[in-house]
Structure 1
Amino acid sequence: MEQLATLARDSRALAVLAVPLALTQLAQVALTTTDTIMMGLLGTEALAAGGLALVIFNQLRTMGVGLVTSVGNQIAAAAARAEKADRTGADAADTQGTDTQGTDANGTDADGDGIRALVRAAMAVATLAGIAGALLMIGTGQAATLLGQDAAVAHRAQGMLAALAPGLVPCLWFQAIRQFTVGMRRPQALLQITLASVAVNAALNWGFIHGTFGLPELGLTGIGVATSSVYLLSFLALYASARRDAELAPLLRLDFWRADAPTVRRLLVLGTPIAATYGSEAGFFFVTALFAGSFGAAALAAHTAVNQLVYIVFQVAVGLSHAASLNVSRELALGDLPAARRIRNTALACGAAVTTLVGILYLTVPRLVLRPYFDPGAPADQQGLEIATGLLVIVAVLQFFDCAQNIGVGLLRGLDDTKSGFRITLIGYWAVGLPASWLLAYPLGGETRGLWLGLLIGLATTALLLLRRYGRALNRIAPAPAAVGG
């Protein structure tokens, strides 16, 4: 009973961060879904061109986000050190009968300066990554025909990429401020801002596409202009919200040109493996999509639909991963190793609960789950629907390991061990998962089912290696507590 009570308490503490972060991730999925729907209304060529532009943009955006992701952990640790110093100072004052406020060189003032330095450095990294990514985005668009894309599609994609490119800098600024707010354990405004951005994005999309609301008529390019505008507005809204917060405002600094080089280098050392991990994972699923396409249009359609379902559930894992990661940084800064050890089990238990409920839904009402992607009454959709229905049995298990490996990466990030996470994901995705997918899909004749069984094997291997690495790392900090009884 005591263990259940501890698990419930830890789960509530984790949910304070995980729920708003997961809902924010789901709202961001709605943002890109809106763009895709609007593209589809413009026709097949526009959907192809816009989809190509979004793939390029999202790849660079995801890697840019990785560069600033460790900021939240650094700020969580600094805030915890300040909290610990305040407690120590208060205890000393009670004992000695004196006021020690502001006298501890390692206390709140010093850590406040450290947080301000981290925010400046995060903004500097976001700015550099945004500019570099924007230039790379435009260059990739210009080379699209060299990559085998249809000339008409490539030309339209180039226009959209040019419109999306300016939005990458404010997008990454938003992510830097987001990491600051969650590191300070005050993420609540994120959800409201992201939900509002979905509505604003839909309105601006429509306005710039058709020239309504007094806006210029830009067609497909208008979607890129709307998206860039929404990223800028979202950043300004989050900044304004943080400035109104009495706890956050004194620590919030945007003068990134004053960032000190050592802090910027530290964030890049931690962030580069995270960015590489995100890029590696995206590449892994991209290659498996190419495998699925080799089995025909129905197999690719089934793969795409099921992959989207996994992606939606994955956003819950992202929320749990970030929350667990920040809590590990905090507990280690406070010196509470048993709490850091429990976070792994708490996060995995929460992930198992969510994925089990979703898995039951997949197994009991598969056709309802797949209804948004296939029309059961359309003969052309029957083969894809049957393949996708069979895949849901595998996905019901796979999504737990997908969730667990994301949590594992977050836990290691909480230890500032981002390089191990990258190395392990390379092993799990590329050395185990991809060969297993190829072997089960082609030589053993499993086709799409074999492909997804290989994905499951790769994700399970990655999860187990990451979680083992985390346990061993904690044991190096302090031996695991002896079992009670037995």
Structure 2
Amino acid sequence: MPPAFARLLTDSRALATLAVPLALTQLAQVALTTTDTVMMGLIGTEALAAGGLAMVIFNQLRTMGVGLVTAVGNQIAAADARAEADESDPRAREEVRDLVRASLLLATLAGLAGAVLMVLVGHAVVLLGQDPDVVDAAKPVLYAMAPGLIPCLWFQAIRQFTVGMGRPQALLRITIASIAVNAGLNWLFIHGTWGLPELGLPGIGLATTTVYALSFLALYASACRDARLAPLLSLRIWRTRPATLRRLASLGAPIAATYGSEAGFFSVVALLVGSFGTAALAAHTAVNQLVYIVFQIAVGLSHAASLGVSRELALGNTAAARRLKTTALACAAAVMAAVAVVYVTVPRLVLSPFFDTGDASATDIATHLLLVAAVLQFFDCTQNIGVGLLRGLDDTKGGFRVTLVGYWLIGLPAAALLGPAAGLDTLGVWLGLLTGLAATAVLLLRRFHRGVDALEPTAAPAAA
């Protein structure tokens, strides 16, 4: 076996130790929201529309809040690496404690602000042309879900702490358990079983808040039982150093903006596709959901590579940081290639859960989109890993600027030109989407290489 290939296999196994639990956790979270959607549909069409509207608002703010604390994992990974390199220095361990306190304080502030904003948006969304009856039905759901944003972000802060310390295993167990708990609570709160009041649709919002609170408590309890994590897990947020809070906020704000920008970009694309009719929008929704599911694997690889880069650069190992990039991209390419083969060879089977057998128009459009998706997902995965790699360099602002260019200045105009303007309709929009993601991926990787190159002169003495 060639030495380079042997090293790639070794690095891949090391990366998978962190990436696989994270990817499975992401997939489990997708199942969590899917359970809510199914429960809404069982209540009725209007409930599905109102609950879906509430979930869109909640998920947009939740995603941006998660982005705000995402950089915590990188900072903790770097601080932990420095602590391991110099165990005689107690300040390194105190740095980790302060980061945990600051992340929980940041999560609290973001959760409070997001909860208030969620209610305000729920009242204002009727001005955007939404059905007033649907908006009225969505408001009680938002009221029930808004408090859940705070424990949700607390959970994310503790999650970043455990992942930064290289202990992600409890995450998967807790997230899988939360799916069953969420389904049970949905049923209890909706129908008023076992003496509980019958809440109907708002019961789903209450179940969501309860599950987030229980998940946070479970993860916190798990960390407290870990001999390595417990001494560093400090809830004394009032002792947070203002400088640490400012540093996390300055790193997290561009990530939150990136997540918000990406969500907004895909929303605009959906609106563009919707102008071609119901069949086109249905096809887009189905294929986009398939891409989103596979995308969770990229998220796991991105987080694992990002934390690895932070740790290696904290020790001055720029060569190892470059290898992590190569390993993550190689693992992603292998998974995406396997998925692409399935898309190309059995597209009808892949799409069968989404369409009735008689819905030939939507199925035909979706079949063509799957061919684009087979290529698109390579670039989608690469750009997500690129954002993570830049986060490992603490270059979150650069990642945000690059995604703005790729999504909005390249991707959206290309989608408009290849779709409505060129007459390719939905297929053209997806080709434009592919173009934007490809450009974003190339620009992010180029920026990462330049960032590592800039560190090498100062990193060389430390490595020696």
Find the partner of 2:121 among 117, 120, 140. Answer: 140
- Supply the distance in 2 between the matched residues of 1:420 and 1:215 (Cα, whole angstroms): 51
Post-superposition Cα deviations, 1:411-467, rounded to whole Å, max 9, x if no partner, equal: 000010000000000000000000000000011101000000000000000000000
Does 1:62 find its partner at 2:67?
no
- Supply the distance in 1 between the matched residues of 2:244 and 2:360 (Cα, whole angstroms): 56
- Supply the distance in 1 between the matched residues of 2:248 and 2:38 (Cα, whole angstroms): 37
Post-superposition Cα deviations, 1:23-52, rounded to whole Å, max 9, x if no partner, equal: 000000000000000001111111010000
Output the TM-score relative to the length of structure 2.
0.98
- Supply the distance in 2 between the matched residues of 1:392 and 1:201 (Cα, whole angstroms): 32
Over the matched positions of the two proteins, sequence identity in percent amounts to 70
Q: Which amino acid aligns with 1:281?
A: E
State the SS of the aligned residue for 1:143. helix
State the SS of the aligned residue for 2:182. helix
Post-superposition Cα deviations, 1:358-382, rounded to whole Å, max 9, x if no partner, equal: 1111011111111111122x2xx21
Match of 1:392 in 2: 370
Does 1:229 find its partner at 2:210?
yes
Match of 1:475 in 2: 453
Match of 1:334 in 2: 315
- Supply the distance in 2 between the matched residues of 1:426 and 1:296 (Cα, whole angstroms): 28
Post-superposition Cα deviations, 1:254-307, rounded to whole Å, max 9, x if no partner, equal: 122221211100000000000000000000000000001000000000000000
Match of 1:318 in 2: 299
Structure 1 unaligned residues grouped into runs of 5+: 87-103, 480-486
Match of 1:101 in 2: none
Does 1:415 find its partner at 2:397?
no
Count of aligned pairs: 458
Match of 1:439 in 2: 417
Match of 2:166 in 1: 185
Does 1:160 find its partner at 2:141?
yes
- Supply the distance in 1 between the matched residues of 2:161 and 2:317 (Cα, whole angstroms): 23
Find the partner of 1:255 among 214, 226, 236. Answer: 236
- Supply the distance in 2 between the matched residues of 1:25 and 1:215 (Cα, whole angstroms): 32
Q: Which amino acid aligns with 1:15?
A: A
Match of 2:460 in 1: none
- Supply the distance in 2 between the matched residues of 1:151 and 1:249 (Cα, whole angstroms): 50
Give 1:46-445 correspondences, 5 Å limit. Answer: 46-86=47-87, 104=88, 107=89, 109-376=90-357, 378=358, 381-445=359-423
Match of 2:41 in 1: 40
State the SS of the aligned residue for 1:264. helix
Q: Which amino acid aligns with 1:121?
A: A
- Supply the distance in 1 between the matched residues of 2:244 and 2:454 (Cα, whole angstroms): 26
Per-residue deviation at 1:215? 2.3
Match of 2:4 in 1: 3
Post-superposition Cα deviations, 1:94-119, rounded to whole Å, max 9, x if no partner, equal: xxxxxxxxxx4xx2x21110001000
Per-residue deviation at 1:213? 3.1
Q: Which amino acid aligns with 2:363?
A: L
- Supply the distance in 1 between the matched residues of 2:37 and 2:254 (Cα, whole angstroms): 30
- Supply the distance in 1 between the matched residues of 2:300 and 2:168 (Cα, whole angstroms): 12
Find the partner of 1:449 among 424, 427, 444. Answer: 427
Q: Which amino acid aligns with 2:196?
A: L
Rg comparison, structure with higher value: 1
Q: Which amino acid aligns with 2:55?
A: L
Q: Which amino acid aligns with 1:462?
A: T
Match of 1:461 in 2: 439
Per-residue deviation at 1:335? 1.6
Q: Which amino acid aligns with 2:222?
A: S
- Supply the distance in 2 between the matched residues of 1:193 and 1:233 (Cα, whole angstroms): 9
Per-residue deviation at 1:61? 0.2
- Supply the distance in 1 between the matched residues of 2:150 and 2:371 (Cα, whole angstroms): 41
Post-superposition Cα deviations, 1:328-379, rounded to whole Å, max 9, x if no partner, equal: 0000112211100111110000000111111111011111111111122x2x
Q: Which amino acid aligns with 2:438?
A: A
Q: Which amino acid aligns with 1:210?
A: H
Post-superposition Cα deviations, 1:148-197, rounded to whole Å, max 9, x if no partner, equal: 11111000111100000010000000000000000000010000000000
- Supply the distance in 2 between the matched residues of 1:427 and 1:387 (Cα, whole angstroms): 29
Per-residue deviation at 1:146? 1.5
- Supply the distance in 2 between the matched residues of 1:121 and 1:228 (Cα, whole angstroms): 23
State the SS of the aligned residue for 1:213. helix
- Supply the distance in 2 between the matched residues of 1:281 and 1:213 (Cα, whole angstroms): 43
